[in-house]
Structure 1
Amino acid sequence: MTHQPSGAAPHPHRAGRLSARILSSPIGLAWVRGREMELMHRAMGFAALGFLTLVPLLVVVAAADPASGQGFARWLGQALGVSQASQDEVESLFGMPGTALQRTTAFGLAALTVFGLTFGSAVQTGYEKVWDLPTARWHTMWRHVVFLALLVFCLLVFVNTPIPSDPAIAAAAATLGDLTGTALFFWIAQRLLLGGRVRWQALLPGAVLTALALLGLRVFSQFVFSPLIASNAVTYGPFGTVLVLQSWLVGVGVVVYGGALVGRLVHEGRVRRRLERELLS
């Protein structure tokens, strides 16, 4: 009988079984499906279109309502989890909202509309890839308009919600309100953009996971993006803040698509366990 010497490479069958076990695990499945749908590529597209759409749109809305402009800047700073110094740099992006509406041309509004519809189309395509659905027909483009309007409406609700005076209560209420509102928004947005082709019950795990992951991204931003904004603002000026904001939007894109993807895996696992119980009963 021969013995495998110590330090030798593992048996190929054992390595194959280990690889198959890892790939069949929830983390492995999420990794494989994420690569299949080109998650990072779609997240970068989400960031580019989101920046071209959301920031100009929020500036225009802020021009119509200066109080909302301050609220948008505050909400964006809270979403980034930045310090007070970095918060001031973020607020400088909305520094003169009153002149934005006066200087906005018809061509600028038309370009903003096109980018907005393209942004909604990109999010819809990402969700379709998550659920392996065919591309929706062209006449469903009205859903992109509704999605964009719903997004602006939810942001207006967030920034105009009164904040309790007590700091502890305010932090708890803000966290609970953000989680609930974000989960509700992504639950409705998935159903809307997918054209009702996936049931509400199947979409709920993805919406909840997306809201939780965005909260985790906020915590991560406190340690990474907040100091970057402060340092880049000194080195590059306002352009440094834009670079950090763009990087944060890439993270948001990963969370939006990744949360929906993991939510589908959670739903499929629940359905599989239910079927196994029914077979055994």
Structure 2
Amino acid sequence: MIGSSPPLDDRPLPEQDGRGPSGGLRHRLAEVAREVWQRGREIELLHRAMAFAALCFVTVVPLLVVIAAASPTSGSGIADWMIDGLGLSGRSAAAVDELFASRREVVSTTTGLSLAALAVFGVSLMAAVQNAYERIWRVPPGAWHTVWRQVVGLGGLIGYVLVAEWSGVPWRHTGAQPTLRVAATLVGGVLFFWWLQRLLLGSRMPWRTLLPGAVATVLALVGLRVFSRLAFAPLIVSNAVSYGVIGTVLVVQSWLIGVGYCVYAGALTGHALHRAPTPRRRGLR
């Protein structure tokens, strides 16, 4: 009709359709969670986490046992790191500690050939992690001559675990010791996983893009520690009574699968955060 006003658009305004500041954040987190779930199925996250746990237990853990036994610190070696990662104490901590031989037995029975073999096979863990990072970030596989990156990555992993284990030794039973342990574990963990992604991916991904994945990995490991304290600690005690050492090994292996999940899911979260549009990038439609 001439002179009548045009029909009004009855669509809600941006601040009224749940896409305000809080609604936009929820929408973005939902997008990130959806992409992590889909990409996790695409790269077969469960199989990769199980392979990570198997390679850790067969190659890296024995190598860490030998290196920690030869170190001059007064800790209990790699057992301290596992006990802290699982959040154990009392009987459950003692059950895990019994899995490892004493320092004197480890050093006296280790040969140079066996140590070299463990180091060579330990590189396969870094190769698996590099392949997973390349699939997550959708970059072409690295050339064969970049195997030195895997060797350096293995050395960095061993160094991080030893520093995290050593952080429980100085100033024991003082107020400063927990601060040192938290700083070495959390801050050192963020720096390590940030550096590890950059090392294995090379210059194909910039530093700032990889930082959210490193933070997400450490946060996932913190959540795994809380879950382990609630679920794995009583399970270790009951399994140790029912099945002996084998029961404890199964729980430790399950925890290592969880660590593999955290490592890969953290990188997936970083990739999803990089791809998810922010409200400013999305704009008003």
Q: TM-score range by the shorter chain?
A: 0.7 to 0.9
Distance in structure 2 (CA, Å) of the matches to 1:163 and 1:68: 9
**1:92 is matched with which residue: 91, 98, 106?**
98
Comparing 249-258 and 60-69, the one that deviates more: 60-69
**Counterpart pick for 2:199 among 192, 196, 201:** 192
Q: Is the CA contact (8 Å cut-off) linking 2:153 and 2:196 kept in structure 1? A: yes
Listed as ranges, the matches of 1:90-169 within 5 Å are 90-161=96-167, 162-164=169-171
**Aligned CA distance change for structure 1 residues 57 and 225 (closer, same or farther; 3 Å):** same
- Structure 1 residue ranges without an equivalent (≥5): 1-20
Do the aligned residues in 1 keep the contact of 2:63 with 2:115 (CA within 8 Å)? Answer: no
Structure 2 residue matching 1:70: 3-state secondary structure: coil
Measured on the aligned residues, the alpha-carbon RMSD in Å equals 2.5
In 2: Cα distance, 1:164 partner to 1:106 partner:
34
Query: Radius of gyration: which is bigger?
Result: 2
The 5-angstrom pairing of residues 113-262 of structure 1 reads 113-161=119-167, 162-164=169-171, 170-262=177-269
Q: Secondary structure at the match of 1:244?
A: helix
- Does the CA contact (< 8 Å) of 1:128 and 1:135 recur in 2? yes
Change beyond 3 A, Cα 1:166–1:112: closer
Deviations 1:150-181 (A, max 9, x none): 11112222222355456665445533442111
TM-score by length of 2: 0.82
Relative to structure 1, is the Cα distance of residues 133 and 115 closer, same or farther in structure 2, using a 3 angstrom cutoff? same
Q: Give the C-alpha shift of residue 26 in structure 1.
A: 2.3
- The Cα of 1:32 is off from its aligned counterpart by 0.8
In structure 2, the gaps of 5 or more residues are 1-26
Structure 1 residues 184 and 217: CA distance shift in structure 2, 3 A = same
User: Which of structure 1's runs of 4+ aligned residues deviate more than 3 A?
Assistant: 66-69, 162-173, 272-277
State how far apart, in whole Å, the 2-side matches of 1:170 and 1:102 are: 32
Match of 1:82 among 88, 96, 108: 88
8 Å Cα contact 1:62/1:68 also seen in 2: no
Counterpart of 1:52, as a letter, is: V
- Once residues 109 and 245 of structure 2 are traced to their aligned partners in structure 1, the CA distance between those partners, rounded to angstroms, is 20
Aligned residue number for residue 32 of structure 1 = 38
Checking the alignment, whether the CA contact within 8 Å between 1:210 and 1:256 is kept in structure 2 is yes
Aligned-partner residue type, residue 109 of structure 2: R
Q: Give the conservation status (yes or no) of the 8 Å contact 2:83–2:96.
A: yes
Moved more, 237-246 or 163-172: 163-172
SS at match of 1:74: helix
Distance 1:105 1:184, change over 3 A: same
SS at match of 1:207: helix
Q: Secondary structure at the match of 2:99?
A: helix
Amino acid corresponding to residue 186 of structure 1 in structure 2: F
1:234-274 Cα shifts (integer Å, max 9, x gaps): 1222222111111000000000000000111112226x656
Q: State the 1:195 CA deviation.
A: 1.6
User: TM-score if structure 1 supplies the norm length?
Assistant: 0.83
Matched-pair identity in %: 50
- Give, in whole Å, the separation in 2 of the partners of 1:185 and 1:40: 23
TM-fit CA distance, 1:139: 0.4
Higher mean Cα deviation, 187-196 or 82-91? Answer: 82-91
